[in-house]
Amino acid sequence: MLAAVLREFGKMSIEDVPTPEPGINEVLVKVKACGICQTDYKAFLGKRDNVVFPKILGHEPAGIVADVGKGVTAFKPGDEVIVQPAGFCGFCRPCRTGIENCCKNRFTIGGDGGNDVRNGSFAEYVVQNASSILHKPKNISFEAAALTEPLAGSWKGLIKYSQMKVGEDVVVVGTGGIGMLVLMLAAAAGAGTAIAVDISDYALNNALKLGATHAINPNKCNVKEKVYEILPDGPDLVIEAAGPVEAVQMMFGLCRRATRINLFGITTHEDVKFDGGYTHFLETRMDSSFSVTPESMMNAAKIIERGLVDPTKIITHRFGLTKINEAMQAMGMTERNKIMIFPDESDI
């Protein structure tokens, strides 16, 4: 099969490699579309410490079942499916209590989180456990299905953990792929006000089209002053979906008494300073959200199927697999949002 193989930071090589074979309880999926995540880009740049060469990245795929291993009864060749990148054992305490993303034996295909990172989906085929495969709703496209995982992460952070309620005022710091999906989900869930904060006017303009009620560029004004001009009583919820330490500190700085915050975008090991006493007296409740669970994947797929959120609206660039290096260069552009990879260029 054709695959984009990372053998050194900053460059992938397009190679003909052996097609993986599904083992017991595994499914072989022909990849139709796969999104590029910021964590893929960090791996490409050498900013992730769990990358071992050679490696096939990519963890947001959807495709068609090509083959199944022994023991698989829920799927058959020809089924259209969505692939959850995280694999889990189903038997440890985290799995038994519904937090499969914290599985003691977890692994990830092509993605971040833990040291067991297996080959991913910037390839014509990928293998994953049957327990991490979902049937794709018939009425959604493969590229919409490929965005189930980031939408699932957004649902898990915004709705499951931070418990956003109808009418609440939300600030989203960072409007990349995840931030944009969080905004769209907040709008669909009935946010009273949804404020987008980003240093890119291009991203902010897109955010206003996709559900944000207001847009703020930190390079052009004092963010806290502007937020409190819009919301004199302050925000109910602030989601950090950007990544840099400055964004995390901004999140803390936007809090009024009882504001809830979610540490979502920062995925590398960074030290963040905040005033513990001030946070205590404000009764700031902080959540964080890592990876996805079967519950969040199923909810995200249903949200897309019902037309509540159309994740394809955040796609700004599409590339064939052989143009993967061009796609990675585009990840560094300010005028882009979600980038999608297609192993078969005729699907673009």
With CA atoms as reference, report the closest residue to 216 among 244, 175, 248: 175
Classified as helix, coil or strand, 40 is helix
Mean pLDDT by 10 residues, the chain (348 residues): 96 97 98 95 88 94 98 98 96 96 94 85 98 97 98 97 97 95 97 97 96 97 98 98 91 96 84 87 92 96 98 97 97 93 96
- The C-alpha atoms of residue 216 and residue 8 are separated, in whole angstroms, by 38
- The C-alpha atoms of residue 144 and residue 315 are separated, in whole angstroms, by 10
Domains defined along the chain, listed by start: 2-146+310-347 (3.90.180.10), 152-288 (3.40.50.720)
Residue 171 phi/psi, 5-degree rounding, is: -115, 130
Pairing of β 338-342 and β 107-109: unpaired
- Please state the length of the chain: 348
pLDDT for position 271? 84
